[in-house]
């Protein structure tokens, strides 16, 4: 499977690491729409003879990443009709379906969540081709045309609603994985990359939304740190 001829898992991982550093604003997230297209064009082993009618499958889904600490939360949102690729209901910013599934929340193994989910979606889609033959043998997954692309470019989102639906449920139980999330897009111009003035306090580093609670808290702590580090001269009136 690939995105722009690169390994899907590595591509997504490195984009998240590049665009959304750890310890970023708690109200900031990175959204990626993925379009998975699988098809059997119906050609024989020679690649020219048409043996059967062509058939294809398109799956659309979105990943959302949030990194307010050294842990990364990964969510997935699938339109009510996974193969619909048009209309407002296929965009989580405008859909009335605000239910997201938490896939992982970890400091190092968070990528396993979206990687295993993509594999699951792929094999479920591949089952639609069961029973089809290439020549005199069953059609295999490697015989299928496979193309995975971004449905839209990765974009920054501001979280308006971000809460676990059942707060009493444990994180990775069936009930605990369901979150209510509402979001809207935000531009990079509204963000500020900051680094803690105290290198021992890396929790203050990251990408913050200008004017947010996290940003104001950072500005205040940075000023206080500078005063502590460089106290006023006692002889200064």
Question: What residues does each domain of the chain span?
Answer: 2-186, 189-231
Task: Give residue 4's pLDDT.
Answer: 44
What pLDDT shows up at residue 81?
64
The whole-number pLDDT of residue 165 equals 95
On whether the CB atoms of residues 221 and 198 are closer than 8 A, the answer is: no
Would you place residue 1 in the very low, low, confident or very high pLDDT band (cuts 50, 70, 90)? very low
Label residue 226 by pLDDT band (50, 70, 90): low
233 has pLDDT over 70: no
pLDDT, tens digit, for every residue of 97-138? 899 999 999 998 999 989 999 999 998 988 899 999 988 899
Please tell me the predicted confidence (pLDDT) of residue 200: 56
| pLDDT of res. 9 | 86
Query: What pTM was computed for the model?
Result: 0.85
What digits encode the pLDDT tens for the residues 27-78?
Answer: 999 999 999 999 999 998 888 889 899 998 888 999 999 999 999 999 999 9
């Amino acid at each position: 499977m690939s995105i722009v001829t690169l390994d899907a898992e590595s591509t997504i991982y490195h984009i998240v690491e590049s665009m959304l550093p750890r310890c970023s604003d708690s109200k900031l997230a990175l959204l990626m729409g993925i379009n998975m297209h699988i098809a059997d064009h119906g050609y024989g082993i020679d690649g020219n003879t048409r043996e059967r009618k062509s058939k294809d499958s398109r799956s659309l889904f979105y990943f959302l990443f949030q990194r307010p600490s050294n842990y990364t939360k990964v969510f997935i949102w699938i339109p009510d009709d996974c193969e619909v690729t048009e209309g407002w209901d296929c965009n989580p910013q405008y859909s009335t379906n605000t239910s997201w599934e938490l896939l992982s929340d970890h400091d190092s193994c968070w990528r396993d969540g979206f990687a295993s989910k993509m594999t699951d979606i792929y094999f479920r889609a591949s089952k639609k081709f069961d029973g089809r033959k290439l020549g005199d043998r069953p059609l295999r997954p490697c015989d299928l045309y496979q193309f995975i692309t971004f449905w839209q470019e990765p974009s920054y989102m501001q979280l308006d609603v971000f809460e676990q639906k059942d707060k009493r449920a444990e994180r990775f139980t069936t009930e605990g994985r369901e979150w209510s999330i509402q979001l809207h897009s935000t531009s990079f111009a509204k963000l500020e990359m900051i680094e803690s003035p105290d290198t021992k306090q890396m929790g203050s580093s990251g990408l913050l939304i200008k004017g947010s609670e996290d940003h104001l808290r950072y500005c205040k702590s940075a000023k206080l740190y500078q005063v502590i580090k460089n106290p006023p001269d006692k002889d200064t009136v």
